[in-house]
Structures are given as structure tokens and as C-alpha cells.
Structure 1
Amino acid sequence: MVLWVFGYGSLIWKAGFHYDDRLIGFIKGYHRVFYQGSTDHRGTPEYPGRTVTLEPCDGEVCYLEVREKQYDMQVYLDLFTEPDASTPAVSGILVYIASPDKKLNKNYLGPASMEEMANQIVHAEGPSGPNRDYVFQLEKALLKLGCEDKHVMELAETVRQKLSGRELTNSQVE
């Protein structure tokens, strides 16, 4: 049996499992958003971090088991490697998605301003490390693949600004 898993978050730079092959590509009709709460890796139940999930969005594309337990939906989608392709490179890849249904997904945080998300990310830390590291690693991995995800890049820059301001404030206090 062949199983392809689409990594659109930390699976891009840290799979955490053995795989036989890797294919760089994208899915159509979704975009990446920092709307999922992380209480087990990048935050705590008291102070959840934010991680990415996918949200349906017409005309958009998104590049690129235990770890995904907080994602309540599994869908099978087509993977494309060329923007103009009408035939997928691989059909039926497994994609984990966090639904916005709070009854099914208690960790869904939903939309917030960049400022609010950055504040939360700057302060959240869990067993896998600071939430900001997740944001920066995702940005770096996407840029390495040649993907400039506007949402990720804007959030990473806002987090950097918050960290810069916080360091300045802390040094002024001392």
C-alpha cells in the first residue's frame, strides 16, 4: 500500500517518521492559516500556541499520526507539481485539517489579527519548544522551497517586531 501525506506545516522540515520518497508540490483550493491551537507541542492548555491548518479558499494553492492528533479531519486530495497542470502528479494524498467546528475541534482558535496572533505566539511555549520557533522554521522551510506564503511571512515579521520590542523593553528595565 502506498500512502502519501501532505505536509504543510512542521512536516515540511521535521517529518518525525521514515519515508521512502518526498515530492514537492501543492494542493488547490486551500490556503495555510495559523488558526489551530497547540496545547501539546507549541503551547499548553493554559496558554495554547498557534500552528497552521488549511482553510478552503477558491483559487488559492498551498505548497508543500500522533503529531496530528489535534486535527479532527482527514481528507484525500490531489497533489500538483506544476501550476498549469490539470492532471495531478499524485491523487489521493492524506491531508490533516483542523475544522472550525468547536464541538469537534476544541483547540480551534480561529481568525485573529496579525497583532493578536503574534502576541500569543511570542508568549507560548510547549514541550516541542517556543511557538515562535515553529513560525520561523516554517517560514525558512517554505522560502527554501521557493514558496512565499504571505500569511506566514507577515506573521513571522510581526513576531520578529514583537520580540525586538520586548527585548528593548526588557533591556530598558534593567
Structure 2
Amino acid sequence: MSGAQMDVVPNTEPVWLFGYGSLIWKVNFPYQEKVVGYVCGFSRRFWQGSTDHRGTPKAPGRVVTLVQSKEDRTWGIAYKVKPQDVSETMAYLDKREIDGYKTHQVEFFPAIPNHQPTMKVLVYIATETNPSYLGPTEMGALAQQIVNSRGPSGCNVEYAMELAKGMRGIAPHIQDTHLCELEAKIKELLQKRKLDETDGKEKLCACSYCS
């Protein structure tokens, strides 16, 4: 499987990176500045399979990617990385996003006053041509797959719920229908599982969301 690839970026300039998934709540790299805002022409969807972080090759989890949608906006956070940190940060992210993601340059619109109106950012997107792409599915089945999946980085539920929580924190005025509906379905399934556990069924996960 090919890893993420980026355009050549000179280390004499800072780089802006756009996070719309786990980078909203789990950054793990140094940055100089972060700005909340959005990119146009994309929707956030749980259509990418995760075989290395939130699932396994035999039982993939579900993580987000961006799909083209002319009228939509996707909100997230842009991080400014200092020139001296660019090489190490990109090497870390290329490994973190190796399962089907590649970098693209897109226009970012900051949502804070007195900031430059737009700027170019790098974003990791998993397109439908990559081997781990799973595509759309019915919301109930999608939630069930997430509840049942776990991998080296933890359970898939944590990923989805922390993303929903993070989005409410940075953009409470935005209604991400796909994410909100999925969160609600996951909560329903977790509540049912907790009732099942009281009947003696084995607990599958001890994270703060599943336990």
C-alpha cells in the first residue's frame, strides 16, 4: 500500500496543515498557530477504512475523509508549522496517514476576525481509488461497524466521539449532519450494549465511552 505523498515544500517557509478528523483532537506535532475555519467544496464522511489505527486488516474501522461536494463546507483547524519543524512533522503525518491518504493543497477560509481572508493549506485526503476505501453505507450499519472495531490506536468509538466533541468545541454553530447522526446512532448502540452487559454479556472495550 502506498503511503501519503506531498508536494515538495521548501523548509524555508512555514506550512499550514488542515485537520478535519483526528487532528482536531489529537495533534501530536509542534505548531506555531492554529486557526478555526473551513474549506469549500468538500464534505466530511466516514468512508475510509482504517486497518492500522482504529481497526485491523480483517476487521477495518471507519475514519473520515473528504469527498467532493460542490455546495458544502468542511470545518476544522489549520495549524501553522514552523519551517524548522516541517520535515519532521510531515514525516510523522505521512506515517500516521499511510493507510490510503495523500496530501492535496486547498484554499482555507479562516473564521476569525482580522486574519488574512484565505490561505493555502495542505490536507490529507483518502480518495475512492485507494485500497482501504469503503465508501458510503447505511447509517445504522456504519455505526455498528464503528462500535465493533478497534485497533492499535484504540477503539473506533473513541475516534468518532472525540471528533464530534471536538467539532462542538471549535464550531458549535455548525451542524455537521453526517457526524451528528452518526454520533446519535453510536450512542444508541452503546446504550444497548450496556444493557446487554448487565445481562452477563462480556464487555468489549474499557474506554470512557464504551464502559
TM-score after normalising by structure 2: 0.75
Q: CA deviation at 1:57?
A: 0.2
Q: How does 1:41-120 map to 2 (within 5 A)?
A: 41-64=53-76, 65=93, 66-82=95-111, 88-90=117-119, 92-101=120-129, 105-120=130-145
Q: Deviations over 1:32-60 (max 9, x none)?
A: 00001111111111111100000000110
Q: Which runs of 5+ in 2 are unaligned?
A: 1-12, 77-92, 202-211
**SS at 2:182 equivalent:** helix
| Counterparts of 1:76 and 1:4, CA distance in 2 | 10
| Counterparts of 2:198 and 2:36, CA distance in 1 | 43
Q: CA deviation at 1:88?
A: 4.1
| Counterparts of 2:60 and 2:146, CA distance in 1 | 9
| Counterparts of 2:101 and 2:22, CA distance in 1 | 17
Q: Which amino acid aligns with 1:60?
A: D
Match of residue 39 from structure 1: 51
Q: CA deviation at 1:168?
A: 1.4
Q: CA deviation at 1:75?
A: 1.1
Q: Deviations over 1:89-133 (max 9, x none)?
A: 21x2101111101xxx11101100111111100010111111000
1:134 and 2:159 are equivalent in the alignment: yes
Q: Which amino acid aligns with 1:106?
A: P
Q: Which amino acid aligns with 1:94?
A: L
Q: Superposition RMSD on alpha carbons, in Å?
A: 1.6
Match of residue 153 from structure 1: 180
| Counterparts of 2:100 and 2:17, CA distance in 1 | 14
Q: Percent identity?
A: 40
| Counterparts of 1:88 and 1:70, CA distance in 2 | 33
**Length, aligned pairs only:** 167
Task: Give the ranges of 4+ consecutive aligned residues of structure 1 lying more than 6 Å apart after TM superposition.
Answer: none
